[in-house]
Amino acid sequence: MPYYRHAKDAEPISGEAYTIRAQAVDALQVNERITFVASDEETAVWHQRELSRYHTGKYRCVPWTEHAVADFHYAHLSTKAVGHIAYTPDEEYGHTDRQVSCKPGKYLAKFYKDIYSASEIEDLAAQCLPPKLYLATTPEDITAIYNTLNTALRSCMQRKAVAQYTWQGAMDRGEIPHPCTAYANSDLAVAYIGKTPETALARAVVWPEKRIYARIYGDTARMEVALSVAEYQHGSLDGAKLRIIRGKYDQIVAPYVDTCDHARIEGDYLVLDSDGEIDVQTLTGYVGGVEPEEDPEPETRECDHCGDDYDPEADGTSEYCRRCERDRMVCDHCDGNTWDAESVGHGDYYCEDCANEHVRRCKGELWKHRANDKGLNLVECEETWVDDLEFTQEEQTQRKVYYVTDYCKSCAEHKQACAYCEKLFDSESSQCPHCHHTVRCEYTEYFPGLTCEPTWVYSQLSEGFPHS
């Protein structure tokens, strides 16, 4: 019970406790006051709740990330007011899950005027505004987006330095335009944020008339804000019309379409239709038509992954069938092919072998609410990361010194290493639960076998002081 009604000249806990402030206010007497005092457990619960919201994506980070969490404000872009930020000003707000919303410039001037100059505050505040949304509707602009070597927009339809899919080789040979030009002058368009199509920071195929967007590639958080401001919602493109364009050998050219896997022909258009007979989720750049004249009877080969026979020209690549090519990913660590990629953060995916070797899984424990009541369960954290992606070399060295290499950044902040037995325990505790030594002070830090309170520790050991 965090609210105490007590005499003005007395300690808060000497008074009567209440669950909510309104109850304490109703009972308030003359010369009394109300003080909010949370227990350590209550404080830990709301801090953990706020941190988890960054991980789940509920909170979108502000540009000054190095201070957003450090000052326990948990500042984030407001989900209710565009261009505003929201933050937790104190313990009471945190305990009751309330936040204050304000303009970013006002917040920075109030709390960080000694850290940032006026021009820096102005620049940071501008970065909190929703980015401008542009629509590419012409073949030229759409090609400029997809034909740029942009690793931020990694997808099967984005040009690669080395061709990974059939469509890129066919386009480079002049046999087809970029498959995504089928979106041009149709029901659909390619929405993007960034100064130019060539420098797009994020993109998504959209249906402007119905205000629908498909999958987002690139800076998802900022793109979601831009689309939300423009009143777009995520949905299916089923029913939209794409222009029919044909390649050198009369095949119908089309991209890999997110949210809808089939289509039907209707005049000069492909109509996206989940019940249609034409597959529009291929990586070849084609969706049917006649075979190339110089190869009227294509030879089949065995897929290097699943072993099934397939037609390399129509149903896959020179190595893999259509299904395996569609599911194939390239490991961001070893550049090898993988069909069981694991996300390791920062937009990277690792194959199983690289994940087993380089991905770390946190061994910490968290308090979480049980589903059916108000109690708490102690559960494993299981946060994953790759040291070289998450930490600098200096930070990795520091983590080794403090024995927290098996803990994520969040859990490591709540651990300390016993200077005697070198085992970890919670930083809030003043005594190691493993060997019962107290935390060393600066004067005894480098004395093996000694503690700040040797007599008291000695009494906890059945065989005396090991190194006395």
Give pairs for 120-129: CB < 8 Å, separation 24+: 124/62, 124/63, 124/64, 127/63, 128/62, 128/63, 128/77, 128/83, 128/84, 128/85, 128/104, 129/82, 129/83
Q: Answer whether residue 316 is part of any domain.
A: yes
What is the rounded average pLDDT of the residues 75-98?
Answer: 89
Q: Does residue 463 have a pLDDT over 50?
A: no
Q: 277: buried, middle or exposed (CB in 10 Å: 19+, 13-18, 0-12)?
A: exposed
In the prediction, which pLDDT does 13 show?
81
Q: Answer whether residue 367 is part of any domain.
A: yes
Q: How far is CA 218 from the centre of its chain?
A: 11
Q: Which of 346, 347, 349 is nearest to 338 (CA)?
A: 349
Q: Give residue 138's domain range.
A: 134-286
pTM of the model: 0.49
Q: Coil, strand, or helix at residue 437?
A: coil
Residues 241 and 116 in one domain: no
Show Cβ contacts of residue 428 under 8 Å, excluding neighbours closer than 6 positions.
40, 414
Residues 393 and 452 in one domain: no
Examine the fold and report which residue of 387, 413, 439 is the final residue of a domain before the chain moves on.
413
If one counts the domains in the chain, the total is 6
Q: Answer whether residue 273 is part of any domain.
A: yes
Residues 341 and 208 in one domain: no
pLDDT digits 0-9 by tens, 197-211: 999 999 999 999 999
pLDDT digits 0-9 by tens, 149-185: 877 788 889 998 888 888 898 899 898 999 999 999 9
Angle at 419 between CA 417 and CA 425, to 5 degrees: 30
In the prediction, which pLDDT does 313 show?
67
Residues 408 and 419 in one domain: no
Residues 186 and 308 in one domain: no
Q: What strand order describes the sheet that includes 85-87?
A: 76-77, 85-87, 100-102
Residues 332 and 436 in one domain: no
Q: Answer whether residue 45 is part of any domain.
A: no
pLDDT digits 0-9 by tens, 392-442: 888 888 778 777 888 888 888 777 666 666 666 665 556 676 666 665 554
In the prediction, which pLDDT does 239 show?
95
Residues 352 and 463 in one domain: no
In the prediction, which pLDDT does 466 show?
39
Q: Answer whether residue 42 is part of any domain.
A: no
Q: 391: buried, middle or exposed (CB in 10 Å: 19+, 13-18, 0-12)?
A: middle
pLDDT digits 0-9 by tens, 306-324: 888 877 766 656 678 877 8
Q: Does residue 291 have a pLDDT over 50?
A: no
